[in-house]
Amino acid sequence: MRAASVSDYRELARRRLPNIFFEYIDGGSYAEVTLKRNVADLEAIALRQRVMRDMSKLDMSVQTLGQTLKMPVGLAPVGMAGMYASRGEVQAARAAAAAGVPFCLSTVGVCSIEEVAATGTPPWFQLYMLKDRGYMRELLARAKAQACPVLVFTVDLPLPGSRYRDVRSGFTGGSALQAMLTQARDGIGHPGWTWDLFMRGRPHTLGTVQGAVKEGRRVTDFLAWISKNFDRSVTWKDIDWVREQWDGPIVVKGVLDAEDARDAVKAGAQGLVVSNHGGRQLDGVRSSIAALPRIADAVGGDLEIYMDGGVRSGLDVLKALALGAKACFVGRAWAWALGAGGQPMVARMLDTLRSELAVAMILTGCANVRDAGRDLLDLP
């Protein structure tokens, strides 16, 4: 099958990846109500079609936090991407750089900060508040040494969400031996993935936190360390500590409430991501797109607002811009594309989003994405 849409990359990834990794990418928490809302609420928004306008010139570029993006899209932090394709974070970072959009490296990526930065385009770096402040300080110093331009500070993960699919697939909930046996059995049925990962993709550790887990040998060893180090005591005052270690822009990721958005402004953040963690944390909360307008109204003039969650097309991107986002970050879309075929598929997926965004702009009469506003939507 030749992929034509994001849903096609999902299907190709389902075919190529072992079940435990596909379900890890694809699933959400509990009954996945919020996961479904993220997509459904975007689908329900109607664009306002306009005609007879000069659309011969389109400008998709945006300026944000000292960078120029060729289109208002970025690759969100996705954990363990190096288990979907060999050195997956590196492949995705190269595709993003070629497209002129940012790549955000997850703390729990297989590839380290240094390995991704060696591509020539330092990534945005995503970090959690960890109990081990000493190791946090080391990570921030490493990101700064690699000239990472932006710190994305995830605040909606004081503990991991409960994801039933991961238990059913055998990824979590069992012994380490059971996990190894499940992966081995899955690998036998997916020889293309197995050859790619085990011949070209080693080591299978979480490169950025490898130094903190000296005895770690498998990805699950590092995930267990991260899980134990999530800090439930974190408050907005902890941003002051982060700022002592980091003098670049800070983007707070995981905000759904306007009051929290105001607190992010008070804490000195330069940006925030309206996000429910892709429906992977607290199930039953509102979708990102539903939360976006009131946050944009509350703090849109005070910092940069981005959104992630449920973005499956360039049309979705334009809807989010119309409701107040500066850009959208996609997570599953690029993870599916990576799992489907590595860097070439991620590049093609980004081209798909660009083409779809162009169509949406032309047919709504929006020649410049920076002018996108609620007049582009057919609101009730």
List the one residue out of 107, 223, 80, 227 whose CA is nearest residue 160: 227
Q: At 268, which CATH number?
A: 3.20.20.70
Kindly report which listed range (38-52, 211-225, 259-273) carries the lowest average pLDDT score.
Answer: 211-225
User: Has 277 been annotated as catalytic?
Assistant: yes
Let me know if residue 376 belongs to a domain.
no
Tell me the pLDDT tens digit for each residue of 149-181.
Answer: 999 999 998 888 899 999 998 888 766 666 667
Place of tokens 């970050």: 329
Tell me the pLDDT tens digit for each residue of 12-26.
Answer: 999 999 999 999 999
Q: pLDDT-based confidence at 214, cuts 50/70/90? A: low
Let me know if residue 322 belongs to a domain.
yes
Let me know if residue 317 belongs to a domain.
yes
Let me know if residue 379 belongs to a domain.
no
Three-state secondary structure of the chain: CCCCCHHHHHHHHHHHCCHHHHHHHHCCCCCCHHHHHHHHHHHHCCECCCCCCCCCCCECCEEECCEEECCCEEECCCCCHHHCCCCHHHHHHHHHHHHCCCEEECCCCCCCHHHHHCCCCCCEEEEECECCHHHHHHHHHHHHHCCCCCEEEECCCCCCCCCHHHHHHCCCCCCHHHHHHHHHHHHHCCHHHHHHHHHHCCCCCCHHHHHHCCCCCCHHHHHHHHHHHECCCCCCCHHHHHHHHCCCCEEEEEECCHHHHHHHHHCCCCEEEECCHHHCCCCCCCCHHHHHHHHHHHHCCCCEEEEECCCCCHHHHHHHHHCCCCEEEECHHHHHHHHHHCHHHHHHHHHHHHHHHHHHHHHHCCCEHHHCCHHHECCC
Let me know if residue 177 belongs to a domain.
yes
pTM of the model: 0.95
Higher per-residue confidence, 357 vs 229:
357
Which pLDDT belongs to residue 230?
85
Average pLDDT over every residue of 70-85 = 97
Query: Catalytic: which of 277, 319, 332, 354?
Result: 277
Let me know if residue 39 belongs to a domain.
yes
**Distance from C-alpha of 239 to C-alpha of 226, rounded to nearest angstrom:** 20
Let me know if residue 212 belongs to a domain.
yes
Which pLDDT belongs to residue 369?
98
Which pLDDT belongs to residue 175?
65
Range of the domain at 136: 6-233+240-363
Higher per-residue confidence, 90 vs 128:
90
Q: How many domains does the chain have?
A: 1
Which pLDDT belongs to residue 3?
96
Let me know if residue 374 belongs to a domain.
no
Tell me the pLDDT tens digit for each residue of 231-269.
Answer: 899 999 999 999 999 999 999 999 999 999 999 999 999
Q: How high is the mean pLDDT of the chain?
A: 94
